[in-house]
Structure 1
Amino acid sequence: MKTAPIANPASPFQPSKGPAHKVVYTYRDKIAFVFVTLIALIVRLYKINFPPSVVFDEVHFGGFARKYILGRYFLDVHPPLAKMLFALIAKLGNLDEDFDFHEIGLSYLDKHVPYVAMRLYPGLLGVAVVSLAFLTLRNYNCSTLGATVGALLVCFENGLITQSRLILLDSPLIFGTAFTAWAWSSFETQNIFSFKWYLMLAVTGLGLGITASIKWVGLFTIAWIGVLTIYQLWRILGDLSVTPRTFVRHFSARVLFLILLPLSFYIGMFAIHFALLPIAADGAGFMSSRFQANMPGARNNEIPLKVALGSTITIRHVGTQGGYLHSHDHQYVGGSEQHQVTLYPHKDENNYWLVENGTIGADIDYATVPISYVTHGEVIRLKHVVTKRRLHSHDVRPSSDTDWLNEVSAYGYDGFEGDSNDLFRIEIVENTDPNTVVTAINSKIRLIHVGSGCQLFSRNYKLPDWGFGQQEVTCTNQGVFKNTVWYIEHNEHPLLDVYDEKVELVKYAPMSLLEKVIELNKVMWTTNAGLTASHPYMSRPSSWPILKRGINFWGHHKRHIYLLGNPLIWWTSTAAVAIYVVVKLFSVLRWQRSYDDYLKPSVQDYDHYLGSTFTAWALHYFPFFLMGRQLFLHHYLPALYFAILAIVLTIDIYAGAMPYNKFLRETIFVTFLLFSLVAFYRYSRITYGTEWTQSECNNAKILDTWDFNCALYPNSYEEYATVADPFAKPTITEATETEETEEAKVPEEEGEVSTEFIQVESEEEKKEPANEEEPTEEDLDSSIQTVYRTEADGQVKAYRKVYKDAKGNVIPPEKFAEIKNKVSVREPDPNF
């Protein structure tokens, strides 16, 4: 029946005024909450000790935990909270400090590594996410059944399970996001200015601080709460019944708890981070010299202020994190083939240069001549202290083969007088007075090549392996200004004694905590933006909602861990978001025609709760389109959490508005949950790394782009029974026995090895790339040679050549290489 238009309809962009309901948890709610929590404990923690080896980015985050224990400063692109908690657990578990997590597949059983305890931390947070989903949906006025089903959908989402079982940051991040969403939904149900209203507002701010302190994706959560807060304040401001004093109370409370509290928490986490890392290790090289000088374990020594001819100096680049002007006894490959000049981020003896005058001639002993300070515009030469070669530039293209750059090299030898291409004019930035003396630390300088007029320049371009991955240094007239700016960090001279009261000295000024946090965050931002290299499992945001492909985490011994979502839950969540957009557009059109839909409480609830959830999904998803760095499917998981909530809200609201609504709603919920359980079970083998067969694996590939490696699995489950536990830690005796047994199995001279070609059945087996981190079963057990043959039907089929012993067992390639000279090999029929 058509609804009659009204004169002044409610706005379709206004949520219900004040809390739409008060949440009262019944006995049934409590039973449901305990139930979903227990189920989540089982699902998240099942076989969490498997595999007992380093998986995917456990390389990084386990390694960071170790560095916290050692106190060695490191640089990471993520804030420190979750990493520090990993370190705390590792410390309490007595982590063997010799274990460095340096490669995927490295066994945890070889050293004392509390990897199970470290994995339990994200695992239990994954359990908490399920519980928080239930509480949030109840705050959204969902039925108990709807909240239970929603929590179980989060529980049985395979991608969320995989990510919460390993030493990774995403489970803590999603927990922080879910915690904040629950706190905000609880805040909305409280009476204004009551104690619980203030408490839940503060808890929301705490959640924002936690989330942002784990990963910068937490900034999207801050943006979401910020949008909702601004909208709330806008509506309050437009309410004529609200006095200015009341509005100020609203505004002040939100500034205190949603801005100052999370910001203070965020800075506090970095304060702890700095205190735990007093030793200036490799990561300190990315920080400014002033930052390094203010590290807890550093000495901020005074050095002579003025730079003179005969000073030994180090020169640091301002525009990038490349580090110090550096040379070493290695030549360029191509170009002039002269010695390399690079940027090197760490303190090193090859960073030292002697300042010489601009007169080409014999070496001068500057300790025996009157001191002469270097001034703005003076022509100098820079002689490398270790190799005795001078900084040099000429009209030769550098290794990057860029037309607008000239090569910079180190040229000459000890005793060589040099040539005109060694001359550089030193200029102080923003200075015109030729009498101004160049000073260490304070002066920002440019080095202008006298012969060509180009400026010494560097950018974020790394040399190939022959240049040790160090940053290229060139000379140009067209470079970005900041990349031509340098400063002198170290300065010493035989006539400038630091203990002489007449010598002016300088040292780095102290840094406040806030200054340290700002600098580190700038470096983190720059480093994060620079992660643009290709990765075999990277993906773009446009592919995430359709689950186009996953991520290979680990593969070994006929088992595989591959990050892939539950396709039914994943695709339905995308549909739920799309449905909201369509319904919203349709409702706006009806509102413009003066229909009264938005006067109905059910529509107001739908628009408020689902609208808030959609906003959260959008703000956790669309910003990734603006990023040029490496992105992976797991970056979508926080947005997925809100999309799953949208499924439940959509069913709860739409089914509740239909005839026989209770029966229909319960039927839909239960049916959808059962099908989701089936999908979860089907893909649980790549979630937990358990046993599977090739045929089942191939049948599970709904999309051709799902590139988990089915060739890794055997043809039947019986083959697992014949394989010893690949992760059992042998005793010394067992290891000796195994070696003797293997040696005894080597065929004697008269033995025979047969060969045959086996057809490759699936496209994945034909073209699946081997795991970059470690060899797959395909590499170890069967793949000696692959040939292609055109069959009678015109199809090209692939066949793999394998070697077998007398019992028909496949001989691994490396073992065959050892015995091939001791056995006779019966080649296969050429007409196979």
Structure 2
Amino acid sequence: MDYINIKRRHLASYRKDGYEPVLKSDDENFKTKEPIHIFSNSFISSIKLQKNLAKTRAFYNKHCNVIIPLFFTFLSFWSRFHLISLSDTVMWDEAHFGNFASRYLKREFYFDVHPPLGKMIVALAGLLAGYDGSFSFEPSSKYPENVNYTFMRLFLASFGAWMVPLAYYTARELHFSNQAIILITLMVLLDTAYVCISHFILLDSLLLFFTYTSVFCLAKFHNQRYKPFSTNWWIWLFMTGISIGCVSSVKWIGLFTTALVGLYTIEDLWNKLGDLDISKINYLKHWIARIICLIILPILIYMTCFAIHFSILTHTGPGDAQMSSLFQASLIGNSLSENPLELAYGSRLTLKNMGFGGGLLHSHIEQYPGGSEQQQVSCYHHNDINNDWMILKPRKEQIYNNNTEIEFVNNGDTIRLFHLNTGKNLHSHEIAAPITNVHFEVSAYGNETLGDDNDYWVIEVVGDTYTKTNRIRSLTTSMRLRHKVIGCYLRSANRALPEWGFRQIEVTCDKRNNIKDVHTHWNVERHWNEKLPPGNSANIKSNFLHNFWHLNVGMYTVNNALIPNPDKDDYISSLPIQWPILEVGLRMCDWADDKVKFFLLGNPIVWWSGTASLVLFVFLFFWYLVRQKRKYIEFSPAEWTHFLYIGKICVIGWLLHYVPFFIMGRVTYLHHYLPALYFSILTVGFIFDHFTVYCNLLTKKIIFSISYASIIIVFWYFKDVAYGINYPSSKLKGRKWLSTWDIVN
């Protein structure tokens, strides 16, 4: 029976590897008296399989923290890249941001309400794609063959793809359970709004990416709190500063993320103030570290983006009029530097308001609907024939009648400004201005021969950039225009007129004599006079800090002017109250049956569960506060601190990214909610953990498995709205879960 001993030795070797094979009795195994090779085929192969599975399981358990995020990252890139070139037409706001990329590549100055970092990244995508900036990105136009729009979309979609692993690692840093981490990651991966918005040449994937990095870095820094001034502590504090600098440089909505970091920092420093174990020197070091990394560093990043912006856009372009006259004169291709140097009577000119965000003095044939009902006067930020005026003497005084004499305009002169296109005079009277009614109205009145003394203005020179002179110089001389009769000063202060005034900037006559009010300062921007020699551009210089501040104020002014138009039906705009409950979606293109259509709509399971979790968290917070007041002890101090920490990050983060839209007067759209959505998703993970903490493992797995399945199934059902609807929308009736979803024609 030597084969029995051999068998036992085989079994002993497998037991050493952790296996207990179950065998029949010797009589049953060997009654056939077959040779031993039977064991080496079926039995031994199954044992090897079990051994390999055990090794695989051990490898997975050891490296699951790498395998799982890698798997989700792969799925994320696939989901963001899938069918990305299905539509070959300019989609939604691709018309804006693609056009801005063209401006960078052609180095033409433009104006936009958003900071430049995101748009420079879009331009980089175009540069890497071999795009030369020649395409105009007209809405709904077809991309030409020389525009590799697929590469540009892929480049930007990669930022959206990185959101998924960032969500995974952020949830880990917040100490959620493995099941909750996967739930959060799956919700970010399979939200149809996130997938859809990442498919196009837009800023949103960049904004969301830097929002996610900011929260991740903040969570990493928080977990280093017991190791102050260590290498990792400094790294994550520094990275947090970089992230909030970048997110604020893409869109100003990123300032809400900065506010979250700021509130966290204030509370952290306040708590350290009460920690007597921290010396005064170390407490001062905490302040200095945060000032450097969370204030100075983000500001430097923000300003550096504008410095790069100015260094690239060195040629004249469509956004010139938003900037100061000196800045425009410094641009290549701009003729302002060729202006005749000194202003003379009979010259044609444009007047630029020198207040930050100021525009060009403008008039048009439309009249005020109230007040004097005379012709409107405003400030306009674009070059236009209606910005042109002629400077004349009062009617009783005459300039020289020959063709050679030139009479220059001097400080203290009384002048008349004649609007060339409509033939009327700049005029003011003691009638309240339409918006700033504590000031007087400014209008255009009369004609070359008809008028009165209310057409006259006195020049008061404030100063000159380069020299002291009694004469008025184009570009460099700042002056005020005082009304001859009333004594008020011509002023423009960035208040937008209603729709009847085309949202242009109100011009008034201010009764206050405040020489420091730059909104009453004006300069000659363009100057034409055939009798005068052209100027010299050698000394034209522009100050960066002045340009930086001027552009930012202009951005703020125009952004505030983007208010809903009551006279127009903006069918794609929505109200903030509609977003958390996903009451609306957003059509991103033409909805014709033969077009590829995209409908920005979130995964209902993700959005509704996020909103419900926020409400539930607030209820739990007050519930536990009441129970603590009644001396019920349900948390250890560490557990309660963690509960509050999650609330500060998730709930306050959501509030900061959501509530301000109720205060803003500007028009709002569904995609404005996408940063806030992330914080509601994080809250979902915490709520699931909170209510399953005492469940047995099987119950917990069932609950989370149902959640995973729900998200996956609903995503699959709605995937076409994100990847493109290339069939008639009438087939989407089953997906119209709410009557307010404008998904079917």
Contact kept in structure 2, 1:449 and 1:455, CA below 8 Å: no
Within a 5 Å distance, the mapping from 1:751-790 to structure 2 comes to: none
What residue in structure 1 maps to residue 548 of structure 2? 517
Among candidates 705, 709, 733, match of residue 698 of structure 1: 733
User: Residue 735 of structure 1 aligns with which residue?
Assistant: none
Q: Secondary structure at the match of 1:355?
A: strand
Distance 1:111 1:182 in 2: 40
Structure 1 residues 540 and 25: alpha-carbon distance in aligned structure 2, compared to 1, 3 A threshold: farther
Shift of 1:333: 11
Per the normalisation by structure 2, the TM-score is 0.79
- The answer (yes or no) to whether the contact 1:341–1:472 under 8 Å persists in 2 is no
2:491/2:510 contact within 8 Å kept: no
Instruction: Give the direction of change, closer, same or farther, for the CA distance of 1:421–1:195 in structure 2 (3 Å limit).
Output: same
Distance 1:673 1:297 in 2: 59
Paired with 1:187 and 1:153, the residues of 2 have a C-alpha distance of 25
For residues 435 and 98 of structure 2, the distance between their equivalents in structure 1, rounded to whole angstroms, comes to: 40
Stretch moving more, 688-697 or 205-214: 688-697
8 A contact 2:356–2:553 mirrored in 1:
no
Q: 2:703 aligns with which of 668, 675, 690?
A: 668
What is the letter of the counterpart of residue 236 of structure 2? Answer: M
Q: Distance in 2 between matches of 1:443 and 1:125?
A: 46
Q: Deviations over 1:351-403 (max 9, x none)?
A: 55443332426653387668575343x4322345x669452548899998999
Q: 1:155 aligns with which of 189, 194, 201?
A: 189
- Contact 1:302 1:506 survives alignment (8 Å): no
Q: Which residue in the other structure is 2:307 paired with?
A: 271
Alpha-carbon distance in 2 for matches of 1:479, 1:701: 59
1:587 to 585, 606, 624: 624
The 1:334–1:588 alpha-carbon spacing in structure 2 relative to 1, beyond 3 Å, is closer
Q: How does 1:400-479 map to 2 (within 5 A)?
A: 408-409=443-444, 411-412=446-447, 417=449, 419-420=451-452, 423-428=455-460, 437=470, 439-440=472-473, 441-448=476-483, 450=485, 471=504
Give 1:52 deviation, angstroms: 1.2
CA displacement, residues 750-790 of structure 1 (integer Å, 9 cap, x when unaligned): xxxxxxxxxxxxxxxxxxxxxxxxxxxxxxxxxxxxxxxxx
1:540 is aligned to 575
Q: CA deviation at 1:119?
A: 1.0
**Amino acid of the residue matched to residue 136 of structure 1?**
T
Cα offsets for 1:146-177 (capped at 9, x unmatched)? 21221011111111111111111111111101
Residue of structure 1 equivalent to 2:237: 201
Name the structure 2 match of 1:183: 217
| Aligned with residue 123 of structure 1, among 147, 157, 161 | 157
Tell me the CA shift for residue 589 of structure 1. 2.3
Please name the residue that 1:59 is paired with: 95
Structure 1 stretch displaced more, 591-600 or 202-211: 591-600
Contact 1:310 1:366 in 2 (8 A): no
Distance in 2 (alpha carbons) for counterparts of 1:532 and 1:604: 42
Residue in structure 2 matched with residue 219 of structure 1 by the alignment? 255
Rounded to whole Å, the distance in 2 between the matches of 1:401 and 1:265 is: 38
Q: CA deviation at 1:340?
A: 7.9
Q: Are the structure 2 counterparts of residues 475 and 30 from structure 1 closer, same or farther at C-alpha, using a change threshold of 3 Å?
A: closer
RMSD value over aligned CA atoms?
3.9
Aligned CA distance change for structure 1 residues 663 and 516 (closer, same or farther; 3 Å): farther
**How far has the Cα of 1:632 moved from its partner?**
0.9
Check whether the contact 1:275–1:296 (CA below 8 A) recurs between aligned residues.
Answer: no
Q: How much has 1:78 moved relative to structure 2?
A: 1.0
Structure-2 separation of matches of 1:474 and 1:146: 58
User: Which residue among 283, 294, 297 is the counterpart of 1:261?
Assistant: 297
Aligned pairs for 1:279-678 (under 5 A) are: 279-295=315-331, 301=337, 309=345, 313-318=349-354, 321=357, 323-326=359-362, 343-346=379-382, 351=387, 353-360=389-396, 364-365=400-401, 371=407, 374-376=410-412, 378-383=413-418, 389=423, 391-393=425-427, 408-409=443-444, 411-412=446-447, 417=449, 419-420=451-452, 423-428=455-460, 437=470, 439-440=472-473, 441-448=476-483, 450=485, 471=504, 486-489=522-525, 510-512=542-544, 514-534=545-565, 535-554=570-589, 555-558=591-594, 559-656=596-693, 658-660=694-696, 662-678=697-713
Contact 1:176–1:207 at 8 Å: present in 2 too? yes
| Pairwise CA distance, 1:227 | 0.9
| Contact in 2 for aligned 1:338/1:411 (Cα 8 Å) | no
Paired position in structure 1 for 2:4:
none
Structure 1 residues 383 and 188: CA distance shift in structure 2, 3 A: closer
Question: Number of paired residues?
Answer: 666
In 2, the alpha carbon distance for the partners of 1:28 and 1:331 equals 70
Change (3 A) 1:295 1:663: farther
**3-state SS in 1 of match to 2:597:** strand
Aligned-residue sequence identity (percent) comes to 31
1:676 is paired with a residue whose SS is helix
1:683 equivalent in structure 2: 718
Alpha-carbon spacing, 1:536–1:479, altered in 2? closer, same or farther (3 Å):
farther
Instruction: List runs of 5+ in structure 1 lacking aligned partners.
Output: 1-23, 712-832
SS of 1:55's partner is coil
Paired residue for 1:76? 112
